[in-house]
A and B are shown apart, each in its own frame.
Chain A
Amino acid sequence: MSIVLVCDGALEQYSCHRFADAWRQTGRRCLVVGAPIAGELPLPNRPCDLTLHPKELLGSTVFDHANAIGLFLRNPADIETITTGYRALRQSRGLLAAPIFSGPLIPLAGDDLIDAFLRRLSCDLMIVSGDDQLKQLKAMTSFWPAELSKPQILATGFWFPTPPPTPPSPKPLLVALLQREIPTRIGDKEQLIRLIKRWARGQSEWTVVLQPDHPWKLTPTVPTDNTSQQTNVVEAAPEQMLGLLRQCTACLTVSSPWSLVAMMGGRIPVVVGDYGIQSEQHTTTFFGCGAMHRLRDLGGLHKLQKLPLVNQGWLEAIGGSIKDGPARVLVALDTLRPATTAP
């Protein structure tokens, strides 16, 4: 069985490699296909096995011998386009179509989850993170007519491996996960960074690492202050995010999904609650995490070590309890093949 995994973002590429590595160990052949990612990466740079822009896929021979195709593209419209085009091509050639699977990879909730599902209706299998997501979608579709085609849904846990927790850094370390577009209002991100820097000035025993959770350019991504250079606030070096998240004392974010790495490692999470629980800020997923705090209530870094850990029940329900995600996908794909490949 040959599985082709298509991706177009840093998180997606990382996840596809993880799937491919796990499946190769079971003797399956896999190919990770995607476009190169520009800029400095937060994750270890591991190029795709085949560099090809997803839009060029249908004109290539990549899918010709695939037994299953995983589409992990940031824009769900691309998934629909490729799925439809691929099946039409196969049908025109009188060939069977391989099952197509996809998923948002990160835990979603509410409208974001519904939207992610509805935009993948053409797929054969949709993977979601946890039992919470599975329950929401099953409830939503429970009365849908049988003739309305929809993908099977499978919970596969988080997109990153979870090694046993290690002791935290001997000196207090805060990793502030910075998102590209969140918080959404102009100036809010800069204001957040200024506040973190102010906190750091007052607590020199802390080290603060400003860590973009997305690819960034070599030029500084965070604004510089007019104040003198602080030695305990640094911008993260490329490709170090996972290590930092696993050894930090606390991890602060508005809604970066990578904060789950720190949560799974038993680190103190600080999900910034100042921007409300809103789809636009991607904070709806974090409702229930038990780690959402308003910065004004915290007042400084010295208070972080007294904060509670993540709500374990929430973490497990959104995917933290699932350790065998890649194996689950394989089993599901094997069951799918005979039923869904007819042209």
Chain B
Amino acid sequence: MTRPLKLLLIADSDSQLLACEALCRCQTAWSVEFTINVIPREGTPQQILQRIANLGTLWRQNLRRLLNNPKLLRFDAVGVFLTGSKLNDIRIALERRQQRPKLFCGFNGVVLEHFIEGISWRLGYDLICLSGPRDRDALNQLVANTPFASQQTVLTGLQRNGTIETLIPPAQRPKRLVFAEQVVMPCSARDRAEMVQILAGLATRSPNWEVLIKPRIAPGDATFHDVETHISSTLLQTLGVPPANLKLDYRPLTDLLRKAPLMATISSTAFFDALDFGCRPVAMNDLGLHASHGSHVFAGSGVWRSLRDVHDLDALEQELQEPNPQWLDWMGYHKRYCADDLFDALENIEPPVATGITHCGYPTNTQSSFNQLRVSAEAAICTADWRGAADLLSQAAQMRPQHRGVARRHAAASCRNPFLRSVGLILSYRDLG
């Protein structure tokens, strides 16, 4: 390799940015130049944006502008860390070009639910990054006997912070348990109140410890999921006045994990970050096994246990086992799964084909939803593919004949007169986000 690998990473929500950040920070033998395009979105945490800006060149272009940017073709590969339909839009838009960068995508940490849906949006990418053997086996089973059986994947693991050189020995860390809160796991107000109640009980029983709840997002910030009640409100609604040693802490999670001997979570990917920072994790099982909590994934961790039954945090620190190494490996937490494999794979995969492959009887999630048809049509308009745009809008109009916005857009894109088409497109434009 004589020149650096030029990668563009595209993300919008905070969890996607965290996945990009992990990739940018990876320790690798490769020389990589990162450009990160953060799609402008209200509520994206400034803290993450500032960190991202230090890791490479930062772009802030919306999807429409980005897909029209001629600089896209200068990259060796584009990594897309977006939600379903947008993953598809970028792939389709780039596949329209004669030459294009290699395309890869991934998941933002541990996949707890919607794996099939997630894969069906990603099939067709040159390379799909997966965490570990668990995901790879599930994907292989899903695509067995289908035309997607040869979909290329690479395991990039969950060791997202690399090897930390200067770990503080556990005995020198302040007595703290960091609880990594998740915005929708659990989701119900009742379960969230119970979770807070259990943490408060643990704090009360452990007066010589601090229990720090690290909120997933600050109040007012946005994430992929809608947040009805911020954890700061849940705390007050449940406890009124929390114990003095139970606090919310908005510092970056890595700063907290670096200086705490213990962390707890229901099912957050932060479990694995804790291991990177020498902080011993425990998966809280007090709320039982529910698919919507992701608890079924962590039940095999070897440290899935009740915090209500813990006598106090001194006792937990004494008796807490290490996570089951076989489970860790299965999930992807092992140094043999790393970003180097991604860069190797990007170097070695065949040059991408210009147009995507379609298979009769296997439409996956491509171009299936009404909104997606509209967004794909916008991508086609960006590349002056008027016929493609008209086709897509015609399909959307068939799905919703009463939708006037789509009808107008369809009429504009179908117009053969370039001047009238331009005017029509300006008048019928709606920002689809």
Q: Which residues of A contact B138 (CB under 8 A)?
A: 136, 139
Q: Is the CB of B144 within 8 A of A118?
A: no
Report B93 CB to chain A, min CB distance, Å: 19
Residues of B within 8 A of A277 (CB): 116-117, 120, 364-365, 368
Residues on B with C-beta less than 8 A from A199 are none
Q: Check A289 for interface membership: any CB of B closer than 8 A.
A: yes
Give Cα A276 to B142, complex, Å.
16
Contact assessment for B114 and A111 in the assembled complex, using a CB-CB cutoff below 8 Å: yes
Identify which of residues 114-152 in chain A touch chain B, using a CB-to-CB cut-off of 8 Å.
Answer: 114-115, 118, 121, 132, 135-136, 139-145, 148
> Is B415 an interface position by the 8 A CB rule?
no
Q: Which residues of B contact A287 (CB under 8 A)?
A: 116, 120, 142, 364
Question: What is the minimal beta-carbon distance from B94 to any residue of chain A, in angstroms?
Answer: 21
Confirm or deny: B50 has a beta carbon within 8 angstroms of a beta carbon on chain A. Answer: no
Known: A114-B291, A311-B146. A275 touches B368 (CB 8 A): yes
Interface presence of A314 (CB below 8 A): yes
User: Do B291 and A115 touch across chains, with their CB atoms under 8 A apart?
Assistant: yes
State which of B69-77, B251-259, B323-331 sits at the interface with chain A: B323-331
Which residue of chain B lies nearest to A116 when distances are taken between CB atoms in the complex? B291
Q: Does B290 contact A (CB under 8 A)?
A: yes
Contact A111 B113, beta carbon cutoff 8 Å: yes
Instruction: Tell whether, in the assembled complex, residue B291 and residue A293 are in contact, meaning their CB atoms are under 8 Å apart.
Output: no
- Indicate with 1 or 0, residue by residue over B134-145, a CB within 8 angstroms of chain A CB atoms: 100110011111
Contacts of A292 in B (CB 8 A): 361-363
Query: Do residues A118 and B296 form an inter-chain contact, with CB atoms below 8 A?
Result: yes
Contact of A296 among B116, B326, B395 (CB under 8 A): B395
* Bound CA span A231–B66, Å: 53
Instruction: Determine whether B169 belongs to the interface, using a CB cutoff of 8 Å to chain A.
Output: no
Q: Please name all residues of chain B whose beta carbon is closer than 8 Å to the beta carbon of A275 when the two chains form the complex.
A: 368-369
Q: In this assembly, does A49 line the interface, its C-beta being within 8 Å of a C-beta of chain B?
A: no
A293 close to B299 (CB less than 8 A): no
A274/B330 in contact, CB under 8 A: no
A111 to B117, CA, bound (A): 10
A291 in the interface, Cβ–Cβ < 8 Å?
Answer: yes
A327 at the interface (CB under 8 A from B): no
Q: How far, in angstroms, from A293 to B368 measured CA to CA in the complex?
A: 10
Q: In the complex, A308 Cα to B146 Cα: how many Å?
A: 13
**B351 located at the interface, meaning its Cβ lies under 8 Å from any Cβ of chain A in the complex:** no
B399 interface residue per 8 A CB criterion = yes
Number of cross-chain contacts by CB at 8 Å? 114
Chain A residues, CB < 8 A from B367? 294
A284 at the interface (CB under 8 A from B): yes
A136's contact among B141, B297, B324, B369, by CB below 8 Å, is which?
Answer: B141
Does A143 contact B324, Cβ atoms closer than 8 Å? yes
State which residues 280-317 of A face B: CB under 8 Å: 284, 287-294, 296-297, 307-308, 311, 313-314, 317
Which residues of A lie under 8 Å from residue B327 when comparing CB positions? Answer: 143
In the complex, residue of chain A having the shortest beta-carbon distance to the beta carbon of B295: A118
Given the known inter-chain contacts A135-B141, A143-B324, A287-B142, please indicate yes or no for A148 contacting B299, CB distance below 8 A.
Answer: yes
Determine whether B34 belongs to the interface, using a CB cutoff of 8 Å to chain A.
no
Q: Is B386 an interface residue (CB 8 A)?
A: no
Task: Report Cα–Cα, A142/B292, bound state, in Å.
Answer: 19
B398 at the interface (CB under 8 A from A): yes
> Do B141 and A293 touch (CB < 8 A)?
no
B115 at the A interface (CB under 8 A)? yes
Q: Please indicate the chain B residues that have their CB under 8 angstroms from the CB of A313 in the complex.
A: 144-145
Distance in Å: Cβ of A108 to nearest Cβ of chain B = 11
In the docked arrangement, what's the CA distance between A278 and B368, Å? Answer: 11
For A278, give its contact among B117, B146, B304, B398 (CB under 8 Å).
B117
From B113, B117, B300, A144 is in contact (CB under 8 Å) with B300
Q: How far is the CA of A287 from the CA of B143 in the complex (A)?
A: 8
Contact between B120 and A279, CB atoms less than 8 A apart: no
Which residues of the partner chain B approach A140 to less than 8 Å between Cβ atoms? 296-297
At the interface, yes or no: B189 with Cβ under 8 Å from chain A? no
Contact B117 A284 (CB under 8 A): yes
- Closest CB of chain B to A226's CB: distance in Å? 15
Check if A168 is an interface residue, CB within 8 A of chain B: no
Instruction: Find out whether the CB atom of A289 lies under 8 angstroms from the CB atom of B364.
Output: no
Q: Which of B296, B326, B369 has the most CB of A within 10 A?
A: B296
Chain B contacts of A284 at CB under 8 A?
A: 116-117
B115 in contact with A110 (CB, 8 Å) = yes
Are B368 and A294 in contact, CB atoms less than 8 angstroms apart? Answer: yes
Establish whether residues A145 and B304, one from each chain, have CB atoms under 8 Å apart when the complex forms. yes
Determine if A230 is an interface residue (Cβ-Cβ < 8 Å): no
A290 contact from B146, B297, B299, B401, Cβ within 8 A: B146
Q: How far is the CA of A341 from the CA of B114 in the complex (A)?
A: 37
Asked if A162 CB lies within 8 Å of chain B CBs, one says: no
Cα distance, A284 to B364, chains bound together (Å): 10
Across the interface, which residues of A come within 8 angstroms of B364, CB to CB?
277, 287
A273 at the B interface (CB under 8 A)? yes
Complex CA gap A311/B142 in Å reads 13
Residues in B neighbouring A317, C-beta threshold 8 A: 144-145
Give per-residue flags for B77-121: 1 if the beta carbon is below 8 A from chain A beta carbons, else 0.
Answer: 000000000000000000000000000000000000111110010
Contact in complex: B398, A296 (CB < 8 Å): yes
Q: A135-B141, A139-B137, A140-B296 are in contact. Are A293 and B363 (CB under 8 A)?
A: yes
* CB-defined contacts of B116 to chain A, threshold 8 Å: 109-111, 277, 279, 284, 287
Contact with A along B291-335 (1 / 0, CB 8 A): 110001101111010000000000000000000101100100000
Contact (A288, B146) CB under 8 Å given A143-B326, A273-B368: yes
A118 touching B290 in the complex, CB below 8 Å, given contacts A139-B134, A142-B300, A143-B326 = yes
Write the residues of chain B forming the contact surface with A, with a CB cutoff of 8 angstroms: 113-117, 120, 134, 137-138, 141-146, 289-292, 296-297, 299-302, 304, 324, 326-327, 330, 360-365, 367-369, 395, 398-399, 401
Identify 18 new A-B residue pairs, CB closer than 8 A, beyond the known A274-B368, A307-B360, A311-B361.
A111-B113, A111-B116, A111-B291, A114-B296, A115-B291, A140-B296, A142-B300, A143-B301, A273-B363, A274-B399, A276-B117, A287-B142, A288-B143, A288-B145, A294-B363, A294-B367, A297-B363, A311-B146
18 A-B pairs within 8 Å (CB atoms) are namely A111-B114, A115-B292, A140-B296, A142-B300, A143-B301, A145-B304, A148-B299, A274-B368, A276-B365, A277-B120, A277-B368, A284-B116, A287-B364, A288-B146, A290-B362, A292-B362, A311-B146, A313-B144
* Top 8 closest pairs, chain A to chain B, by CB: A143-B300, A313-B145, A276-B368, A110-B116, A290-B361, A273-B363, A115-B291, A277-B120
